[in-house]
A and B are shown apart, each in its own frame.
Chain A
């Protein structure tokens, strides 16, 4: 079984557009949305939910006012300034439990904390696993790991040999959870100075965890000089640039129509994405070099 994660470092580079196109092009895959925070893949894949489960990401303290004698020990010890005037602020609380252990009156207990949902769904391109973290919740990395684990289970059950993961933006914990141990990362970037800066950082994370990476330059014609810089950068590091996609308003039109670009149009963007997919598919089979 192979796992491919599409990431972007900087958000809004067209990562989900490309993932959705891969969903339409690949065969026999399980889709996993690793962006549990601001997920968009469902807008194109329109999943029909078959199974919905609650996600408990950790524990949170609960204070029993009747037992509390306002000694203030918990407030003093909490490193996250999460207790003020003997009230716990759930947004600042990290759920470390120190207050519970320290309270001389056993006034604090730790309770399982409901932090979101995860789903198993059907789409027109096969099964999909996705999650929705509650607003302002923590532990997105844990939910991403859970989504990936469920996707693997389905792949095993249904004899599918490929999992395509739409990764979250950034380089923090959910990104690490979405890319550790996968067979290949595709980093989608734009030829802007910020795009290059963010690409270097996200490729750094892939390198840090020894995950092979390839690159796609989206809207490459917005600044061809920068596109050359990206290609040069990748050449030096032996990272293959598997696709260069021009800017085309048709991409937004497909999104508004709720379709993947390859379903919506047969123009140049679709062409390039198809070639890119073919390259990735063979590469996944043979193993990309790092």
Chain B
């Protein structure tokens, strides 16, 4: 089973939930798809065993063959390749690596070369199989890295995917294909506003979802009203606690600081499993 953890708003505790859920279960693979700001390793402290450079195929023009006909620039939907007089200019940060230019070039002048956009690291954190992607700094495009990372998913395990916050392409890429999506929110106006957007996104992807309310005793009650109205199950609540916040700040997992939480996270998992069984049965 693949459970993705997401949230419209950042900083609601997505990584806390993902890592602690992983630490509370057996046979887990933890896949950190928040490649812009991966944090799971801070809490799980994995032994990295393998480092894989991830690149995307981008065009390289062979000047001896190029006739500067401009066809490549015409097909590129992203203005990543431009032909001016006797020169082909390439803007790597705009290139989606679609292969359109090399396909169209009548002179066979375009060859594709790998351009690194990030790395994937794999390893073990105790019994947990750990995978994360790290986008290179200055690199705009996270989705190709996430796509590659998801090829390492081990379907024989309970897979926990941590996504980045928001509702746009990197989040969709991370959440897509999971069996269940857990949305982490805070009971504040910002939290609710962003939860609504996240719910819309997950529904668009046709994935069953549930909500976890973190810092459940701050703010107001509107998140619960919203969830009731939308028939969204609130699967767990965690109060605001300075002790938890301090442990978090040091990179200490919640289940290590307060071991009772282990059974609460197991219960969370059981609820998700039960819901999925009901849905398929």
B201 touches A136 (CB 8 A): yes
Across-interface contacts of A249 in B (CB, < 8 A): 218
| Residue from the set A11, A94, A222, A256 with the largest chain B CB neighbour count within 10 Å | A11
Contacting pair A136 B172 (CB below 8 A): yes
Number of interface residues of A (CB under 8 A): 65
Residue of B with least CB distance to A100: B75
Sample 28 A-B pairs with CB under 8 A, ordered by A number: A8-B11, A10-B10, A12-B10, A37-B168, A37-B197, A40-B9, A58-B77, A77-B103, A79-B97, A79-B98, A80-B98, A91-B172, A96-B98, A97-B77, A98-B100, A136-B205, A138-B169, A170-B36, A170-B165, A193-B42, A194-B37, A195-B249, A208-B137, A222-B242, A222-B245, A223-B250, A255-B190, A256-B219
Which segment, of B22-30, B138-146, B268-276, faces chain A?
B138-146
Interface set, chain A 226-256, CB cutoff 8 A to B: 226, 247, 249, 252, 255-256
Q: Is the interface of B mostly helix, strand, loop or mixed?
A: loop
> Which of A64-72, A197-205, A280-288 participates in binding chain B?
A197-205
- Docked complex Cα distance between A133 and B93 (Å): 21
- Which of A9, A38, A137, A201 is in CB contact (< 8 Å) with B9? A38
Q: Which of A48-56, A172-180, A268-276 contacts B (4 or more CB under 8 A)?
A: A172-180
Do B200 and A135 touch across chains, with their CB atoms under 8 A apart?
yes
Question: Which chain B positions have C-beta within 8 A of A127?
Answer: none
Interface size on B, residues (CB 8 A): 59
Q: Which residues of A contact B99 (CB under 8 A)?
A: 77, 79, 98
User: Which positions 110-148 of chain A face chain B at CB distance < 8 Å?
Assistant: 110, 133, 135-138, 140-141
Contact B246 A223 (CB under 8 A): yes
A91 vs B190: C-alpha distance in the bound complex, in angstroms?
26
A-contact bits for B55-95, CB 8 A (1 contact / 0 none): 00000000000000000000101100000000000000100
A106 CB → nearest B CB, Å: 15
Chain B residues with CB under 8 Å of A201's CB are 36-37, 137
> Looking across the interface, which residue of chain A has its beta carbon closest to that of B38?
A197
Any B CB within 8 A of the CB of A87: no
For the complex, is B12 an interface residue (Cβ under 8 Å from A)? Answer: yes
Question: In the complex, are the beta carbons of B103 and A198 less than 8 A apart?
Answer: no
> Chain B residues near A172 (CB, 8 Å)?
36, 135, 139-142, 170
Query: Does any Cβ of B come within 8 Å of A191's Cβ?
Result: yes
CB within 8 A of A136: which of B97, B141, B204?
Answer: B204
Among candidates B186, B190, B200, B245, residue contacting A43 with C-beta atoms closer than 8 Å: B190
Docked complex Cα distance between A219 and B141 (Å): 31
Q: Is B266 an interface residue (CB 8 A)?
A: no
Cβ–Cβ < 8 Å partners of B104 in chain A: 101
Q: A10 and B11: CB pair below 8 A?
A: yes
What 4 pairs between A and B have smallest CB-CB spacing? A11-B10, A12-B11, A96-B98, A173-B140
